[in-house]
Amino acid sequence: MQVGAQRALQNSRGPGKLFYMPELPDIAAYISALESRIVGQPLQRIRLASPFLLRSVQPPLASAEGRKVVELRRIGKRIAIGLEDDLWLVLHLMIAGRLHWRAPDAKLAGRQNLAAFDFPHGSLVLTEAGSKRRASLHLVSGKEALSSFDAGGIDVFAADLDSFRAVLTAENHTLKRSLTDPSLLSGIGNAYSDEILHAAQLSPIALTQKLKPEEWERLFGATRHTLQLWIDRLRAEAESAFPEKVTAFRKEMAVHGRYGQPCPRCGDKILRIRYADKETNYCARCQTGGKVLADRSLSRLLGSDWPRTLEELEALKRR
């Protein structure tokens, strides 16, 4: 291995992605926390600090005020607040949006505070970190309009193994891409796909049409088990306090956000593939038969110097 390869590998080490788009377990926790606070309560007022948040014009936002909340739904990674007369507020937090439960009529001071939804016993405040404004709010009328936000992905808890496999094998993509495609599966993103694949002991770059029957069984079971585990865990936390710190980096996670830390199954260090503003975390020993997966940018830079096995990787690090 060349010295340049070692330096490039060292330079690739850095903090993971700062922001995280809430996924199915996080949305379930938000909904669980909100149900006890706003269902049956009138939405007294909506205050917008950022006009860019609202992405719809009809019906007018003011028409939602004064109506009681009758139900809450998850639509993929969105939260839908159902009001009387079949009106729906649809929130998409995107990467940096977060919800907070604050005292009634909480002030909207500071650039991060985008909106407040005022109820008799508190205000639901939407914030968004960073400089980009990606979070969105829609107000729509009727179930048909609400269904337009559904990307079409199946609910894994409502599926069986055969339908799960049929959806993911309709096209031949990597497992990582397929698990995070909202048109295939509902609510799964970068963080929980890492956890699912580690639990199933499958490579993130394995192709869906190449999996063996026993691998499909592991993947299906791991998907349901991992999501249910985290739904239960985050809902339990939401019973005692509103989920203020929604993050992808939790100490109980097996691989996601744990680059360089030991795998809880085998003890080898967690590796990663970085691409764009995302990364995939995995254990080579448990998931890829010891093969180090090529990072797209680094593998182009290093060419034949890219370490192909754990042994080569460790040798490179020791130089």
Q: What is the pLDDT of residue 5?
A: 45
Q: Determine the pLDDT at residue 130.
A: 84
* Residue boundaries of the structural domains of the chain: 3-16+257-318, 24-147, 156-240
CA distance 79 to 77: 7
Q: What is the pLDDT of residue 12?
A: 45
Q: Looking at domain 156-240, which CATH architecture does it have?
A: Orthogonal Bundle (1.10)
Separation between Cα atoms, residue 170 and residue 117, nearest integer Å: 42
| Candidates 1.10.3720.10, 1.20.120.330, 3.20.190.10, 1.20.140.10; CATH matching 24-147 | 3.20.190.10
The predicted pLDDT at position 170 comes to: 96
Distances (CA, A) of 26 to 20, 124, 126, 308: 11, 16, 15, 36
pLDDT along the chain (319 residues), means of 10: 45 52 97 97 97 95 98 98 98 96 94 96 95 93 96 97 98 94 96 98 95 98 98 95 91 95 97 82 96 66 44 47
Note whether 24 and 93 are within 8 A (CB).
Answer: no
pLDDT of residue 1: 41
Q: Is the separation of the CB atoms in 314 and 302 below 8 Å?
A: no
